[in-house]
Every structure is written in structure tokens, then in C-alpha cells.
Amino acid sequence: MMTDSDPPTVTIIGAGMAGLTAALALAERGYKVTIYDKGTEQDAGGNLGVAFQTFDETTVCFEVFPHMFGDWYFNFFDLAEKLRLHKRRDFRPCPKLGYVIRDHGINFATVVDNGSPQTFLNNIRSGAGNPLDLFLAGYAVLDILSQDFMEAGLQSEQTLNGFLASRPYATRGMLQVFQNELLYIWAINSYITSVQAYTNYAKFQIGSPAPSSWALNGNSYEKIVRPLLNLLQNRSPACTSVDINFDTKVCGITAKDHKVLEICVEPRIHDDDRQKPKRHKVAVDNLILAVPPSALGPLVAVSADEAMHPELFMPEGNAVIHYIPNLTRTRLLDSGNLAVLYVPLRQTFNFIHQYYVGAVDSAAMLSFIEVPYLGEQFGPGVKTALAIGISNVSAIPAWEGNGPVDGPARPPPPPTPHHHEPEHVDLNWTIANQVLQEFIEYVPREQRKTFRKSVIQDRMYLKANNTAKIYLNQVGNGLNEPPTVCPRLPNLFFATGANDNPIEIATVECAVVGGLLAARALWQQNPASAENVINPINPRLPPRYDWATLLVSRAALTPWALAAKCMADGQEISQKISKEIGPNPLEPWLVFSLEMAEALWLSSLVPGTAALRSWVEIFPPQTESPLEAAIAPQVIGDISDLVNSALQATTIPAWLGIQSARLGADIVAGTIAAMWATLARGLDQRPG
């Protein structure tokens, strides 16, 4: 073991939140840490970074996207406290999520503390969707959480949509609820996202649902990233100084004799762009890779010698993948754009709030929120700073290929006597116009004209995020992600995209926990000093409901799920008949019957919801214990499979009856539609 006078050295590639968190945890324990990052200091923090732009001599910083931090981000808030941020002083609670629905006009609905039993009944009646579908979505979450997705391998690799569509209670509306949620938040479709990844998000969200999230008072770079850089770079009694090298690209890694030995780095030259950057090799003792998952493949496939001399053939094979061939799979890990259009407005509007609002059925999956700090930075005359999130950039006609780069969306110059049309129209301006054209459809009609006039066009900014993409939790990622530490190269650690990260879903909490896990793995091999043996690195797991509570809740709600499925099918068939044959004498009675049944069903939920509240107060969410985590795959997983099979067996007759009734109703509806069409054709062909 090394002494305090000779601390072990650690090299970290990547200055995102995972790399910076790992650096802080190790520097606090006396390690000598060096970080390399290909971006500038303003790019630090990864998706907590910003872009700076000057308007009228005023510098404005635009976040990658306005962040919402879950109440269950325990390790992130622990880090924030080290930066002297207080959760209830420097963050504001955001219990609400809003939805704007284009259905017979503009309807606005809010969901409060999503996942909380206390607000469950109000949320399904909120108007954010069909109450039956919203209830079934909540029931589906309980179903997912009571399943066993713990086993590694193909058994647990299935899509969220695939799992849900196979359930007997599935409805089209319920599936759409999950699709909208994933697209708004993570810019990924439910038919390619991993059900295991979604499970990890859901179990923590319903374990700490109130408030739904927290918003930082200010921007994430100036409040979190820059103070964290200052803490790392300035030596203090509690933390050794960290050497951070920005504008330095790592081109290759050499591994030999079951150790990572050196890296090839290429500093960027700013003084003379014509001068070719000079690469050189740097020896490493321990290496932490904290780069985005999609960048891991190219990095581990080239040795430092190959990077130094790319023109030569190197037969000895000293790249990392020669020791860990499975790392070639990291090339399959994907990321996507979640772009943001920042729009300054000259006045306030009552439909724009300081919490996220989703535009339901939006082609580009738009969401929007007011950003208070930007209203101050934009300068005089700006009353509201609106951020419009674009989760589906492929729906924007002008977005082609990799799309635009971050920058202002400037209007074209006014026509001159010699040139009536501008020679070049800025791509960002074109995209901004197309986004606003769709967004205006969700503005109340009486405010649309005022809204158009309120937009300050020459200060709009498009954060395209081509260099700050969000990690997509696709099905199969669990097979392609590396572990935090690989036994064949014990001095190599992975801080992002590791398959043993318990958070898994792409969030800042996942990045922070990934950094802590990598730091802990290194610490366990070499605590650096006898004093640090009693100063372990232990990420905190958020509380979650125990498996028994989830299963009991699911079983108790099964009768209501049966009824909801029946009524949802009835509504769908009723709409199908109306669409085929138009208004008919039976339609009002059928609609009235379904509405009465739904009202009785909602009323019957009241005592059940009260009982559920009492149950979870008696058995609140608990932090998983190490013992429980150790036995879970062997014991709890087997019990889960057995009980789920028993529950499915006991409810098969009921679900079989519902599906049989659905089949019969579909046959009747189809027969009526066919007879009606035949009668209509006969009337049309009748002479005179």
C-alpha cells in the first residue's frame, strides 16, 4: 500500500458529471487526479453544460436543456451540498407536470406528484388523458415493478412496449401514455426502450414522488459545474488539487500485461490553426473512462502507439479490445438529440409555467417551460423566457442529417432595392419557424396573434445539442455495456454506461452514481492510505417499495383493471361504430351507459385508494439493504416468478371473458357496419 507522501495517481478521460464526480471523490481521499477532455471549459459538465451567446453586448448562457431533478436524486443533492447549495433554498419544488391537449379546442391538464398514492385518484381524473387509460398505465407500472427483470442476459432484454402490449389489460390509449412519457423526457420511443431500464426509473420515482421534481434557481453551469471545477482545481484541506486539461483529445489507449499503461493525447492548438497538433503519450497508473457510451467503442479500439503512428501497421495488438473483446459492442450504444429552442417574449402568458408542459399528439413531441433566469439575462424588454423542447427532431422538415449547430436563429436581412429575396436563409431560423408553427397550434386561439407579436425574433437561440446528445436506453444495451471494472484490466474503470449502475436510466443521477462507482472500485483496490480505509465511497440508493407491497397493490387493483379494460374496449367499439355508420339512435344510450359505468367505477376507487394510502403509510418505501440486494436474484426473483404465475392463472378466466366479449363486440360492430354500407349503396343506386 502506498503512503500518504506517495499517493496513487488516477487519469480520467471526460469532464462530464461522471468524470468530475469521480475526480472529487478521489481527490477528497488524497489521490492525485488528472482529467483530459476534448472540449473547452464551457463544455464541462456534459449535459449540465451551457452555450454562451452575446446579444447587444449582453452575454446569455443557454443550457443544454432546462433540467428537472428528481426528488430521488440523492447522490446529486449530496454533491450539491458540497457546493454549498441547499435543496430548499437553491432549488424550487415542481410538483406539477402539464399537458396541452388539442381536442375540441385547447384543454390544459396537470398531473401532481406523479406516482404518489396521495394524488393518484386526482391524477387519473386530471384530464391529461382518458381516466381508464391513465389508471391502466398506473396498474402497468405496478405490474412491471412486480416482475423479475434482475437476471442478466436475453431473459431481461425486452422492450417496454413489447412487454406492455403482451399484457391482457393493454389498450391503445395506455400504450400511448408510456410512449408520450418517454418521448417527452428521454427522446426515445417505447418500442425500442428497455423495460429493465424503465423499471429502474419507475421504482425510484414512485419511491420518492413528492415533489415530482426540483428546478434549480439559476443555470446548471454557473450554479453547479463552475463551482465544482473551482473546488477541484483549488487545493484545500479537504481536497487535493485536480489537474484538468481541456481542449485535449485522447486518441488511443495502450494495454499490456493485463494493465493499462499509457494514453495518446492531442492538445488543440489555438494560436496557429495551420500548425498540425502534436500528439504525445502519457503514462497512466489507473484510468477511468467517463466519456459518453457511444464514444467508448472508437476509444478502446486503438492503442496509443497506433494513434501516434496511424500510417503504420501494428501487429502486436495492444488496444484495450484485445484484452476485452466484448467492448466492441459499445459501438452499438446510441445517443439522440433533444433540442431546445429558446424564445424571448415581450409579455407574460397564462399558459406558460415554470414547470414542464407537454404538447399532446405533437409531431415533434414539443414540451415547454418558462426559464426565469433567462428572462433576466436576455436584457430589458423581455418579460418571459420560453424554452421549447423538441424530442422528435426528425419531424422538423428542415432538420436533415446531423442537423444544425448551436447558435442564434437570426431572421434574414430585409430586402434591398437590388435583392428582393435574401441570398441565404439561416438554417436555425428555418427550423425555429417550423417549430413555432407547430407550437402556435397549442396556444389558445384568443392569444395567438398577441403571442406572434410578442416573439423577439432577433434573440431566439437554437440549442441543437449535436455534441450533447442524450443516451438512449435501448433494448439490448445491457448486453453491450461494460462493467465498472474489468478483471482482465483491473486498473481500467468505466464511469458511464456501466451495466452494473443501479440507476441505469439516462439522468444526471446516473452520471453521478457512475462516477462514484468507478471511484469506489479504484478505492477498494487501493484505499491510498490507512486513514482512508475507514472512509469508503458508498453511493446512496434511493428508497423503493418492497416487492410484497407492490404485489399486494397490484393484486388489490386487479378487479378495477378488469373493469377499466372492459369499459375502454366498449368506448373504442362505440367510436368505431359511430365512425362507420355515423349518428344512430343507439349511440346516445351506449355513450350514456359507458359514462355511467365509468362514473361508478371512479366512485368505487375512493375506498380502495384510501386503503392503498394507509398501506403505504404503514409500509413506506425503504432503502435496499446490502443483504436484500445479495439474495434478490436468487430468492426474490424466483418467488416473484411463482407468485406472478399464480396471479396470472387466477385471473385468466376473467381476462379470457373480456377478450371473448371484445371479439363478439367487434364481430357485431363489423356486421352492423357492413350492413349499413350495403344499405347505403342500395339507396344510392335506387332509381330517381
The residue ranges of every structural domain in the chain are 9-81+219-333+482-534, 96-210+545-679, 341-463
Kindly tell me if the per-residue pLDDT of 430 is higher than 90. Answer: yes
Q: Is the peptide bond before 502 cis (omega within 30 degrees of 0)?
A: no
List, in sequence order, every beta strand (DSSP E) within 14-126.
Answer: 32-36, 50-55, 58-63, 91-94, 96-102, 106-112
Predicted confidence at residue 583, as pLDDT, reads 63
Lowest mean pLDDT among 88-102, 241-255, 414-428, 529-543: 414-428
Predicted confidence at residue 649, as pLDDT, reads 73
Predicted confidence at residue 620, as pLDDT, reads 80
Predicted confidence at residue 375, as pLDDT, reads 86
Express each pLDDT in 266-280 by its tens digit: 998 765 555 667 889
Kindly tell me if the per-residue pLDDT of 372 is higher than 80. Answer: yes
Three-state SS for 532-596 is: HHHCCCCCCCCCECCHHHHHHHHHHHHHHHHHHHHHHHHHHHHHHHHHHHCCCCHHHHHHHHHHH
At 374, list the grid cell.
Answer: 433567462
Architecture of domain 9-81+219-333+482-534: 3-Layer(bba) Sandwich (3.50)
Q: Reduced to 3 states, what is the DSSP secondary structure of residue 214?
A: strand
Lowest mean pLDDT among 161-165, 439-443, 463-467, 645-649: 645-649
Provide the 10 A C-beta neighbour count for residue 234: 10
Kindly tell me if the per-residue pLDDT of 5 is higher than 60. Answer: no
Q: Reduced to 3 states, what is the DSSP secondary structure of residue 113?
A: coil
Lowest mean pLDDT among 135-144, 563-572, 669-678: 669-678
**Which has more confidence, 608 or 463?**
463
CA distance 102 to 390: 18
CA distance 663 to 582: 22
At 35, list the grid cell.
Answer: 482529467
Q: At 340, phi and psi to the nearest 5?
A: -135, 130
Predicted confidence at residue 318, as pLDDT, reads 86
> Which among 463, 508, 442 has a CA at the least distance from the CA of 185?
508
Express each pLDDT in 201-246 by its tens digit: 898 999 899 899 999 999 999 999 999 999 999 877 778 889 999 9
CA distance 646 to 563: 21
Predicted confidence at residue 388, as pLDDT, reads 96
Predicted confidence at residue 580, as pLDDT, reads 63
CA distance 130 to 124: 8
Q: What is the DSSP letter of 120?
A: H
Predicted confidence at residue 683, as pLDDT, reads 60
The overall average pLDDT reported for the chain is 84
Kindly tell me if the per-residue pLDDT of 387 is higher than 90. Answer: yes
Helices 508-525 and 74-82 pack at an angle, to 10 degrees, of 80
β-pairing, 485-486 with 9-13?
unpaired
Are residues 512 and 76 in contact, defined by beta-carbon separation less than 8 angstroms? yes
Predicted confidence at residue 249, as pLDDT, reads 93
- Rounding to the nearest 10 degrees, give the CA dihedral for residues 669, 672, 675, 678: -70
What mean pLDDT is predicted for residues 346-357?
Answer: 93
> Which among 536, 541, 516, 517 has a CA at the least distance from the CA of 526?
536
Kindly tell me if the per-residue pLDDT of 628 is higher than 50. Answer: no
User: CB-based burial of residue 191 (10 Å sphere; 0-12 exposed, 13-18 middle, 19+ buried)?
Assistant: middle
CA distance 544 to 512: 19
Provide the 10 A C-beta neighbour count for residue 107: 13
Length of the chain: 688
Predicted confidence at residue 356, as pLDDT, reads 93
At 113, list the grid cell.
Answer: 406528484
Kindly tell me if the per-residue pLDDT of 630 is higher than 50. Answer: no
Please, how many CA atoms are within 13 Å of residue 597, restricted to the half-sphere of its CB? 18
Q: Which position has the grid cell 499517493?
A: 7
What mean pLDDT is predicted for residues 588-601?
Answer: 77
CA distance 142 to 555: 9
CA distance 419 to 414: 9
Kindly tell me if the per-residue pLDDT of 85 is higher than 50. Answer: yes
Q: What is the DSSP letter of 64?
A: S
CA distance 537 to 558: 43
What mean pLDDT is predicted for residues 365-379?
Answer: 90
Cα-to-chain-centroid distance, residue 588: 43
Provide the 10 A C-beta neighbour count for residue 295: 20
Predicted confidence at residue 128, as pLDDT, reads 86
